Structure formats: structure tokens, C-alpha cells
Structure 1
Amino acid sequence: MNTTYADIDEGKRLDIAVEFITQRGIDCDGKRVHRLLVADQSGKQFPVLATLDSAALLSLKTGAMHRISGMLGALPATSSKEGGAECPHCGGELRAGRTVDAAGPVFAEAAAELSLDEPFGIIDARATARRVREDRSLVDDWTPMDDDRSVTPPDYVCESCGRHVDAYELRETAETDQMLENQVMESASPAPASVDMASPETVGLAAGGAKDVANFRENVANGYTPQPEAISDEGLFYDYHFETGTRTESEALFAPRYAAAVSDHPISGETERYLSVGLDSTLSVDEFERPRLDLVAVLDVSGSMDSAFDAYYYDEHGRKREAEDDAATKLEAATQSLCALTEQLHDEDRLGVVLYNHRAHVAKPLRDIGTTDMPAIRRHIREIAAGGSTNLADGFEAAVDMLVDETPSPDVERRVVFMTDMMPNTGATGDSELTQLFADAAAEGVHTTFIGMGLDANAELADTLSGIRGANHYFVHSASEFERRLGDEFDYMVTPLVYDLNLDLDADGYEIEAVHGSPSADAATDRLMHVGTLFPSAKQDGEARGGVVLVRLEQTSSDADLDLVASWTERDGGEYTERVTVDVPDETGTYSHKGVRKAVALARYARELRTWAADLHDRADAATGVDDWLLPDQRGQHERESVPLVVPDRYTKRFDRLRSYLADEMAAVGDETIQQEVELLETLCQKAPTTPHEVSD
């Protein structure tokens, strides 16, 4: 760090290494302010002001070197008159405002009492200081994100009453003159489903994409209509364990199993035919070992991350809502979750950290855990503050640049973990642009996990991007619960085992009507199903968590055979193909086993809820007509407004029938955990319509 005293500039922040010399405390306006005398690396001595509660004062030692990050540069306030201008409040004389005024009145008072007449530094809430220990064996390689937003001083300060006065106030008439308080941008530094990994035989498998429907459930619980993509089939399936069928001999790691079902839809009464692909493996739990991990955590530190974790940043009218003083913020949850994630890393793993808002900043270069001072890194993470807009693409590109230097190897997993509310509003924001960006990285062997933060996390964008090869996504609705989940399944979360599973219907007589349980379901054709990635999953009593992809079939010939050709690529590069024939029963209400029956029931449930949620969001978007007035800070395409929880009468009746059906299926398959879906439907049925247009369509 070569920064010196000569680099201090009014209103700018900088990082500087200094030697601590002396300390003096004075009382200003009832608060203790400390004048620190320090020397830069050239030996130049200068003063730094800090308040008593600054963490920097806890470990100061005379003669020791300290690293001050984010120190605010300031010039002394002058008492020169501004053309005879008078304060509009008390009539006192005005002087030109300085950065020290914006930092707080105690700093200005202290500077005056100490008669500071040269540039000096300020350690405020956004600055930190740490002692540099030369004998340290572990490396603290954290570099704080520069605050590129200069601190703007007030135009004028009254020397009599101390008020800040904007220039335009002096041009207003006495009748309309109002004092606007100077707003100092200060972001407070954030305070610092269990899975049994044991299996009687082998590791199960589950499709990439969503790994829960927590965002959907939490929106309903908090009185909001969820985004329809928040209840994806693969996310819902991952809440359950599935029987996969009779084991077959295989030389491959992946051992798919096939089953069929014919059943009448509980609401429409239409007969539906299904094929399930049971996702199983020949890999024993004891033999499974995750590869060495090169992981770059990318943390969103934009302004929306400083909003409340359990509320929407934008209400239903598009207005921003500030977090209550005691409300947990998305950033607090993200930093806590990131610290928990670092606990899962081994000494040979490597970790890097990127922070991004309207620009990206490499806070920690890629380094192995064994030589890194991880307690120090976690302290830095907990001190991160939020502000600015959201350039997701820049954050990702900075992470990829850290990972693409080496040749891809099955022995090393190169993964980016995004912690964000998924609301990019600057840089590349189009779905196609972002998809291509992540797909290009995946082609080079860099995979992505998305961790969605907050109720308003953009489920649609997360669903789109997590369909890319090697990707998955989770929603955090409790940092402590996510920490438990990391402890249970982190190794599975970051280890894709199978890529590009294709299922081709190799004979006339059947076509694919829909696919349930894959983030690439919409890419299916009448003949071909594609699943981009399979991750390992835990088993319970021989049933695989999320271990199914369900294909809804349309029978085009009465005497058709269901012939399939399955192909896939495994992590070690091996390519496999198998041909099978599956018997589809003729009689409705027939299931090959309980696994396919459970999958059918849950897929119908999710489909009905998505239809309702999409309808309500479409209504909300069209409710107020078109507002084509463009504002500089208008909401971007990925920033979501809240939609109050409403269940029109037509859906209440359908949900009640669906609730009865699910209760019956829960008993039939013997899985009491389906009760949570029954209870969610009961909650929705209790939501009475509140306005006439909501009663029916």
C-alpha cells in the first residue's frame, strides 16, 4: 500500500498504512472525539479524528503499524464570509461548507478546537482500522471496496446556529424558505431442512435449478402473492424423497429408472399419462468425495440489499420502502450466510470474494484456505455496507476472470456463488445477454450457484439462469436455517455429477406434452426432453431427495409402445446411451410405484399455484394502465413490486378441491410431510375476496 498523506483529498476516501504515535481525547457537544497523531510510510505526521465508539480505537499501540481503510479526507473549515450572506434561520453569518461538516458536527467542532489548519483524516462509520502484525503466519488479503461516491459537503454552514444551508435557499423568498437538512450518506455496518446424508446404498441424484420453494411459502406467510416461478417443479420436488424404482445393472455412475402412470386430473377430470425418470446412481455414499473447490463468492452490495429481508423494496405502487431501524436487512442475511459458507471449505480449497453494486470490486483474491486468516476475512465480510445500483454482469465477469486461468479438470470444481436479490438495473440486464454470459462461462467449466436474498428476490431471473449447465439456486428465508442446510449438504450443492441428460421418444405413438422437475422444461419438444445437470442428493430409507423428472405424455396412437433413448455425459467426460421400452398402463388410477404417484400429485399442485400467481401478477401489472413517464431512477425490468395476497373466488373453489386431492394422495403414498402443502392451500382458501372484480373472472 503506497498511499501517503499527499494523496488526501477533500471528500475522498482512501486506504493508507500508518504508524500510530499519540492519542488525545476531547469532549465535543457531549461526545468524546479522539485526535490520533499518525505517520505515513514516508514519515509525514498528520492528525486523524475518530469518535470514541470507532472500532479502530480498540487495538491502537504506539509504534505499531495500522491499516486504515476508507479514511475520509478533510480540509479545515474556514470562517470567511460568503458575500455577506445571512442564515435564513437565525440571521448569522455563513461560511462555505466542508467535508468535515458533512461527516458530523462533532468532527467540525473538534477540528476547530484543535486548530487544525492542514488536511487531516476522519475515521467515521464507513472506515475501519486494523493493526498490521508482521509476525502473522496467516494472510489477511482483504481489500475493502472503495467508496467512489465522494462525500458532498453542504453549500454553507451558519457560524451562529450551525445549520447547513443549501445555495438555492438563499434565492427563495422568506415566505417559501424552508430548511432542507443535509443528508449524510452513512450505511451502518451490518452486525455481525435438515438432510440425512447417510444412505443404505448409493447417492441419489436431483436436477439442477431450484433447490427449494422457500420464497413461495414465505411470500404467502407474509401476505404477498408470490412470483409464479418461485414454485418450480424441481424446487418443490427437492422438498421430498422419491422411490425411484427397481435397480438395474449399469457400468455408468448414473442409473436412470423408468416408471409410468395413468391418472385423472382431480379438477378437470381429464385422463393424463406420465413417465417418470427416477434419478439414481451407482455411487456409494462412502465413495463420494467432492472435488477440490475453487470458489468465488459474489456479494451484491447495491442499495436494495440494505432493505428489509421480510418485505418488498418496492411496494405495489412502485415506491421504495426503507427498512425499519430494527429490521434485518438482506445484506445482513447475506453476510451471515457467506460467513457460514466459508466454514464448509477445506484447507486445500481456494476462496475469492467479489463485491458489486454499479461496479465490481475484488475484495479478496483467490487463495487457499489453509494460508488465509479466515477469522479476519469473516470480520471484513460482516463490516460490508450497501449502496448504489446493481451491475450483476460486472460482478460475475470479475469472478470469472479469477477462475478461468486454469484448465478445467473433474478433480477441481470452479464455482461462483452469487448472493443477491437478483434485481440488476444497470450494465447488461437483458435475459438473453445474461443467459449468454453465464452459458459462456459454463462452457469453460465455471459453474454458478445463486442464493436469492429476501422476499422480493427475482424468482423469474433465478429460474432462467439456473437452467444453465452446472447451475442451481436456493432462496434464503432464514440465515440460520441456511447455515444448517450448508452443514448438511454443501458438498452435494457444489458437485455436479451428470450433464446433458437427453430423453428421446424413439417411436410414434407418444409425444411430450410437458416436463416437470427440470429448469430446462420449456425447452422440451414433442420428441425430446433435456436436463442440463444432475447433482448428488441425500437418500432417506432408500428414497432419493428430489430424485425424479416427470414427463407428461400425449398418446397419439392407441396401440403405441413407449420406446426411449436416454443419453448423458458424466463428470469425468464419459458418454453413455441406453435404449429402453416402458409399459404404460391402460387403466386410469394406475401407478408403477409410490414415487411416480407422489410426483404426479405435487406437479399438479405446483401447476395450479403457478397459474393463480401468474394471473394475479398479470392483473396487478394491468391494473393502473400505462405510465410512460420516465424517471432517472425508475424501477428496472428485474425489480419486483409487491402484490398483496388475493385469492379470487374461482381459485378458492379449485384450491379446495386440490386440497382434498392432496390429502388423499398423502395417505396413499404414506408421506405426512405433504401436510405442509395441504395447510398452504387451506391458508389460500381462507383469503376472502376484498373487491368485486376479485370475486370471479
Structure 2
Amino acid sequence: MDGIFADARPGARLDLSVEFITKRPLGCDGETVFRLLVTDQAGNQFSILATPDSDSLWHLETGETYEITGLLGADPVDTDPAVARECPHCGDHLRAGQAIDAAGSAVVEAAEKLGLDKRFGILDEKSSLKPVNEDSTTVDDWLPMRDDQPVETPDYVCRSCDRHVAERDLARDEEPVLENMQADASMEPANSMASPETVGLAAGGAKDITSFRENVSNGYTPESEAISDEGLFYDYYFETGGRTATDSLFAPRYAAAVSDHPFTGETEQYLSVGLDSTLSVEEFERPRLDLVAVLDVSGSMSSAFDQYYYDEQGRQREAESGNETKLEAATQSLCALTEQLHVEDRLGVVLYNHRAHVAKPLRDVGATDMPAIRQHIRDIAAGGSTNMEDGFEAAVDMLADGTTGHGIERRVIFMTDMMPNTGETGAAELTERFADAAVDGIHTTFIGMGLDANAELADTVSGIRGANHYFIHSADEFEQRLGEEFDYMVTPLVYDLDLELDATGYEVEAVHGSPSADGASDQLMHVGTLFPSAKQDGKARGGVVLVRLTKTASDATLELQASWMERDGAEQTERVSVSMPDGESFGHDGVRKAVALARYARELRSWAGDVHDRADNATGVDDWLLPDKRGEHERESVPLVVPDEYRERFDGLRGYLTAEMDAVGDDSLQQELDLLDMLCRPEAAREAEVSE
């Protein structure tokens, strides 16, 4: 890097090497900004302001040389109040916006406190700083990909309230604020908001029902929790419907439906919340990651990937020669995951069985010999019991000193079969551990390994703020999926979406498509987290939450208040009114598809839960406790059984789903019909297919 600071331009980025002189912290706007004094290669001395969410400043030493990538140029704050415009928020005078304003009010305050009167640099979340080791015989020449376009500066900034004000906000006539706006769900969307090039959104929690499908195809009855609504919805793309224009990142869309249940004949009322955003695909950028991978290396991970560690008699199974083990799939998947990291990301690795071991401290990927780390991962062996709590606590300790902001994400990725049997094993206690970490800004992704991965525990813990979970069918498939959606997997965008019925005559009966559905009341729907999702022909993958309503009065009206918090901390509220149809009707094909899938999932959960209950109660209780007695989360296999009453019900469900597939024009629903076909076959024919 041979750049000199004289080449810096306001709002543009520059790469250069500098010699560090001194560092000074300043408390500004409730945060800490660091002022660095450095010289460039031409001997020019200048100042750098490091934003509160900037990259780690390392242990800077006077006289040492450092490489800076993406340093933002900025001019001193222009305090001339000559702009003859008034702030629409507080009425004070505005000043023209500058490049420094893009770095935040804390940096502006620091520049004013220091009295900076010459051009200076800003080290922000898109910049990185690394020491130069002149004695090294190798060079890490990997550079992070970044947007080299000048930063977008606000049109105006208020000197009193620090708000950024756009020219269009001053020009437009006075309009009612969003909180007081009444909108009808049938409104046509504004053209500017209907672009298919925006990022979709989907609820956190399960991101597939792989465990359910694979258990059935391998001749086992899956756990009922393995087919959650949000996991099933994420297999499909949904039309989200029309909405009114908004400046918020999250743009909820509403549609109503009334439909008779195909079996009971009861009339059911639904409200769909279409999950969409105003964030363009081009503007989306995942944050810098502080990521700790926590790998389960307990004995159960040595079992075959496509079998249960415990059979239906509770006996341990040894992996047959040539069969891929859960640990082999996990290590291959972890190696693939590391390929998605950027040099400015930081990676740590924790291994755990009956105890936790920090195998790799948290360090910048650019300063790590990643090929050597991947080889160490491939050499890991399994053995011992499973202390999930210790593994998580070790990861949290590694991340505890970091900070979380809209430009930095601290995340733990658990790769496990979710069968803890030592340490803290209670679902409530484990959930509390993960929830406490989430409050501190440390989020968790769970990757379930193997057919016997505990879907119930995964379903419980993944409803936590910022959490999601996946089940791996094969390492190759997971590697492909990482390439397609890793950035979306680790970037929660919206938190604490609440939809409150501010109406008479309707109550919330059930919520489909949210891992927090159990927390719903008769007047409130809650979704803990929304993640970005892909779009296809303008439809969002998993982009719906479905609310089943009960009408309690003939003159009922449906008024809603939606509130949420976006990743940058902005809190949003909007009010809408929705007209419910009198007879059978669907607002659009998206809500119709969601209703069909929710009914389908309810039937399959009822069957799977019933079969597991019968298996659990088939014999008396063996209360003799052995030293190696299995824990509450260790699952034994249950053979695939479809009682006659369910086979008849599935046959009717198959007819209903076929009609709905034709009505919405989505041939991908055929995979559900294929699963129902298998469940409806005679047992002998099904067993023959599984054995093949």
C-alpha cells in the first residue's frame, strides 16, 4: 500500500500504510470515539477518528507500521448556519450535509471537540487496520471486497437535534405520521415499493423440515416438532401482496382469507402478514462477523449420519464401515462455512464433549492460516458425553468483549445432534442461557446433524431473538446452501415484531410461521426475528406469517397495530385496518398457499406426535437408573407407522393439496404429495422402498 493521505477525497476511501504515533479516547454522544495520530509513507502527519463500531484497533504500538484498508476521507465540520432552511423536527437551522455525517453524530462531536481544521480520516465499520510484520516471509494479500462508491451524505443536518433531513422531506406537503395512518389491506402498492429487486424477509427459527422428510424416507417416524410451520414455509416462495409506501426497512403487507376446513367443514378466518423489505438486493451487505463455531465431538457424533445412535430398544449402534458419520459431515460443513468468511471477519472454534476446549482463539481471518485450520478440523475425533452448556459458555466468553451494532454481528454457530446429557440439560435452563446471551447481542445458529438430531430442543431454543436453525441432509447439500444464503443466515434485520389486534369481535386463535407462536395471546402475535430471504419472480422465500382468527361478534371490525425494531435500533409503528370477506375468499395466492401448508403441517404433526406417544406408552416404566442412562434429549428411533385412521386422513389431505396446488399454480408442492403418497402406501410396500 503506497497511498499517501494527500490523495484522500471527502466521501471516498483510500488504502495506505501509516506509522502509529498516539491514541486518545473521547466520550461523545454516549459512545467512545478514538482519535489516532499517524504519519503516512511521505511523512505527512494527520488525524484519524475511529467510530464506535469500527474494526478492532489491535494493540497499537508507537512507531509500528499498520495497513489501513478503506479509510474514509472527511473535511472539518462546516458550522456556517447560512442554509435558510428549518428542521421539520425541532425548528432549528439546518446546515449542509458532509461526508463526516455518514459516520454518525459521535464522530461529528469528536471532530468539533478536537477543533480539527484540516482534512482527516475516518476508520469505520467498512475499514480495517492490520499490523505489518516486516520480518514475515509470507504475505497475506487478500483484500476485502467493498463498495468503492463515495459514501452517501445527507442533504442537511440539524445543529440541535442532529437529525438528517432530505430535500424531499422539506419539499413535500405536511402528511400524517405513520403511526396515525389508516390503510386498507386491499390498496394497490406504490410502484416504487413493488420492485422485485428488494430483499424478502422470513421469520427466524427453523429454515427447513429436512429432518422430517429424511426420517420418513429412511423408515422412521419423525418428531412432531420437526415440521414447524416456519420451516415448511421456508421451502416455498410467497406472494406478499400490496402495501402502502413506507420509509421503513420492513414493509409488512396484509391480506385476509376465509376458507372452510376440508375435513371439519368449519369456516376459518385468516390474516397473512407478508414479510417484505424496502432494502434493495444491491444495497444489502452482511455485517462484519465475530463468529465462533462450536462443534460437538461427543460419542454420539461418531454414529452414522443416516441412522439413529439409539435403536428402538435403546441400544447404541456402531457406524457401519463406509457410512458417513455425523462428525464427518459436521467437519466438512464447518470447513465449507469458513470459506464464506471475509478477511476482516474474526473466527474462533470451540470443541466440546463432556468439557469445552477452545481449539482456535478468536482472530481475524486475514491473519489466520486458514488451510492449516481446515486440516485440523478434518482431523477431529469423537468421544465422551455431551456438555452443551460448557460449549456455549466458552463461545460466549470469547465474544463477550466485542460489540454488536448494525455493522457488526456476534454469532455462535452450533453444529450438534442436540443431545446434551451432562452439565445443564434442561430445555428451560439452556434456553435461558441462549436468551441471556442474545440480550447482550450474541446470537445463535443451530445446525442439526443426523436423523436423530433432537428437533424438540432445536425448536425450543431457536425461538430466541436472533436465532435460527437448519438440519443437514448431506454435507454437500449444506455446502451448496451456504454459498446461496450464508450472508442471509447471519444477518437478522428486524426484531420483536408485534401485531396487536386493536379491534372488537376478533381474537387470535393460532399463529403459523413463527417460532414464538406459543407466546401469542388472544390479542397479540409476536415474531422474535426476521432474517433476509431470497426472492423469485417478486415472491419472498418463507415470506409470510399466518394468523388464524376467531370471529366473536357479528359486527366485528379488524384494526391492527404493528410495531417492530430494525437492526439499526430504529423503532417503527404502523396502524392499518383490514376488511375481512364475508364468504370463502383469498386475498391472493400467497395467503392461499400458506393456509394449505399450515393445514398440511397440522395433520402431520398430529400423526407424528400420536405415534411417538404410543411408542412411549407401549410398556411400563423402567425406573432402574444405570450409570450411562440416556438423558432426556437423547432420542431412540421409532419405526415408521401409519395407523389406518391417519392413512385415510392423509388420502383426503392428498386430494385437498392437489386441488390447492392447481389453484395457486405451484408445482413445487408436488414434494408434499410425494411424501403423502409414501405414507398412504401399504406397510410392506413402504418397507420395500426404504430397504432399496
TM-score, structure 1 normalization = 0.71
- Given that 1:510 and 1:560 are in contact with CA atoms closer than 8 Å, whether structure 2 keeps it comes out as yes
Q: Which residue does the alignment assign to 1:356?
A: 352
- Given that 2:300 and 2:309 are in contact with CA atoms closer than 8 Å, whether structure 1 keeps it comes out as yes
Q: Which residue does the alignment assign to 1:595?
A: 590
How far, CA to CA, are the matches of 1:668 and 1:321 in structure 2? Answer: 46
1:356, CA displacement in angstroms?
Answer: 0.2
Q: Within 5 Å, give how 1:297-312 maps onto structure 2.
A: 297-312=293-308
Q: Within 5 Å, give how 1:407-426 maps onto structure 2.
A: 407-426=403-422
Q: Which residue does the alignment assign to 2:275?
A: 279
Which residue of 600, 610, 613 corresponds with 1:615? 610
1:247, CA displacement in angstroms?
Answer: 3.4
Which residue of 479, 486, 491 corresponds with 1:495? 491
1:393, CA displacement in angstroms?
Answer: 0.6
- Given that 1:424 and 1:638 are in contact with CA atoms closer than 8 Å, whether structure 2 keeps it comes out as yes
Which residue of 290, 296, 299 corresponds with 1:294? 290
Q: Which residue does the alignment assign to 1:624?
A: 619
- Given that 2:200 and 2:541 are in contact with CA atoms closer than 8 Å, whether structure 1 keeps it comes out as yes
Q: Which residue does the alignment assign to 1:583?
A: 579
How far, CA to CA, are the matches of 1:559 and 1:668 in structure 2? Answer: 31
How far, CA to CA, are the matches of 2:389 and 2:650 in structure 1? Answer: 40
- Given that 1:211 and 1:234 are in contact with CA atoms closer than 8 Å, whether structure 2 keeps it comes out as yes
1:389, CA displacement in angstroms?
Answer: 0.2
SS of the counterpart of 1:354?
strand
Q: Which residue does the alignment assign to 2:79?
A: none
Q: Give unmatched runs, 5+ long, in structure 2.
A: 1-134, 142-194, 686-692
Q: Which residue does the alignment assign to 1:682?
A: 677
Which residue of 538, 553, 558 corresponds with 1:557? 553
Q: In the alignment, is residue 437 of structure 1 matched against residue 460 of structure 2?
A: no
Q: In the alignment, is residue 638 of structure 1 matched against residue 605 of structure 2?
A: no
Q: Which residue does the alignment assign to 1:218?
A: 214
Q: Within 5 Å, give how 1:645-660 maps onto structure 2.
A: 645-660=640-655
- Given that 1:647 and 1:689 are in contact with CA atoms closer than 8 Å, whether structure 2 keeps it comes out as no
Q: Which residue does the alignment assign to 1:231?
A: 227
Q: Within 5 Å, give how 1:8-47 maps onto structure 2.
A: none
SS of the counterpart of 1:388?
coil
- Given that 1:647 and 1:687 are in contact with CA atoms closer than 8 Å, whether structure 2 keeps it comes out as no
Amino acid at match of 1:520: S
- Given that 2:353 and 2:383 are in contact with CA atoms closer than 8 Å, whether structure 1 keeps it comes out as yes
339 and 655 in structure 1: CA distance in 2 versus 1, 3 angstrom threshold: same
- Given that 1:138 and 1:373 are in contact with CA atoms closer than 8 Å, whether structure 2 keeps it comes out as no
Runs of 4+ in 1 over 6 A off after TM superposition: none
Q: Give unmatched runs, 5+ long, in structure 1.
A: 1-132, 140-198, 691-697
Q: Which residue does the alignment assign to 1:3?
A: none
Q: Which residue does the alignment assign to 1:13?
A: none
How far, CA to CA, are the matches of 1:245 and 1:134 in structure 2? Answer: 58
How far, CA to CA, are the matches of 1:478 and 1:270 in structure 2? Answer: 41
211 and 498 in structure 1: CA distance in 2 versus 1, 3 angstrom threshold: same
1:523, CA displacement in angstroms?
Answer: 0.7
Q: In the alignment, is residue 247 of structure 1 matched against residue 243 of structure 2?
A: yes
How far, CA to CA, are the matches of 1:614 and 1:138 in structure 2? Answer: 54
- Given that 1:207 and 1:535 are in contact with CA atoms closer than 8 Å, whether structure 2 keeps it comes out as yes
SS of the counterpart of 1:351?
strand
- Given that 2:196 and 2:539 are in contact with CA atoms closer than 8 Å, whether structure 1 keeps it comes out as no
1:539, CA displacement in angstroms?
Answer: 0.2
- Given that 2:448 and 2:471 are in contact with CA atoms closer than 8 Å, whether structure 1 keeps it comes out as yes
1:687, CA displacement in angstroms?
Answer: 3.9
SS of the counterpart of 2:614?
helix
- Given that 1:333 and 1:478 are in contact with CA atoms closer than 8 Å, whether structure 2 keeps it comes out as yes
- Given that 1:493 and 1:535 are in contact with CA atoms closer than 8 Å, whether structure 2 keeps it comes out as yes
Q: Which residue does the alignment assign to 1:567?
A: 563
- Given that 2:211 and 2:226 are in contact with CA atoms closer than 8 Å, whether structure 1 keeps it comes out as yes
How far, CA to CA, are the matches of 1:243 and 1:200 in structure 2? Answer: 11
325 and 138 in structure 1: CA distance in 2 versus 1, 3 angstrom threshold: farther
How far, CA to CA, are the matches of 1:254 and 1:200 in structure 2? Answer: 15
Higher mean displacement: 221-230 or 240-249? 240-249
689 and 514 in structure 1: CA distance in 2 versus 1, 3 angstrom threshold: farther
- Given that 1:244 and 1:548 are in contact with CA atoms closer than 8 Å, whether structure 2 keeps it comes out as yes
Amino acid at match of 1:502: D
Q: Which residue does the alignment assign to 1:257?
A: 253
1:134, CA displacement in angstroms?
Answer: 8.2
1:200, CA displacement in angstroms?
Answer: 3.3
- 1:427-476 CA-to-partner distances (Å, cap 9, x unmatched) read 00001110110000000000000000000000000000000000000000
Which residue of 309, 322, 326 corresponds with 2:322? 326
1:368, CA displacement in angstroms?
Answer: 0.7
1:407, CA displacement in angstroms?
Answer: 2.8
Amino acid at match of 1:613: A
Indicate the structure (1 or 2) with the bigger Cα radius of gyration: 1
How far, CA to CA, are the matches of 2:287 and 2:516 in structure 1? Answer: 26
How far, CA to CA, are the matches of 1:402 and 1:362 in structure 2? Answer: 9
How far, CA to CA, are the matches of 1:415 and 1:634 in structure 2? Answer: 33
Which residue of 632, 657, 664 corresponds with 1:662? 657
How far, CA to CA, are the matches of 1:565 and 1:200 in structure 2? Answer: 26
654 and 689 in structure 1: CA distance in 2 versus 1, 3 angstrom threshold: farther
Amino acid at match of 1:258: Y
1:137, CA displacement in angstroms?
Answer: 5.4
Q: Within 5 Å, give how 1:130-145 maps onto structure 2.
A: 135=137
620 and 205 in structure 1: CA distance in 2 versus 1, 3 angstrom threshold: same
SS of the counterpart of 2:406?
coil
Amino acid at match of 2:432: Q
- Given that 1:274 and 1:552 are in contact with CA atoms closer than 8 Å, whether structure 2 keeps it comes out as yes
How far, CA to CA, are the matches of 1:628 and 1:534 in structure 2? Answer: 44
SS of the counterpart of 1:355?
strand
How far, CA to CA, are the matches of 2:574 and 2:196 in structure 1? Answer: 26
TM-score, structure 2 normalization = 0.71
**Across the two proteins, how many residue pairs are aligned to each other?**
498
How far, CA to CA, are the matches of 2:137 and 2:245 in structure 1? Answer: 58
Amino acid at match of 1:304: S
1:661, CA displacement in angstroms?
Answer: 0.4
SS of the counterpart of 2:294?
strand
Q: Within 5 Å, give how 1:123-162 maps onto structure 2.
A: 135=137
- Given that 1:351 and 1:365 are in contact with CA atoms closer than 8 Å, whether structure 2 keeps it comes out as yes
Q: Within 5 Å, give how 1:155-234 maps onto structure 2.
A: 200-234=196-230
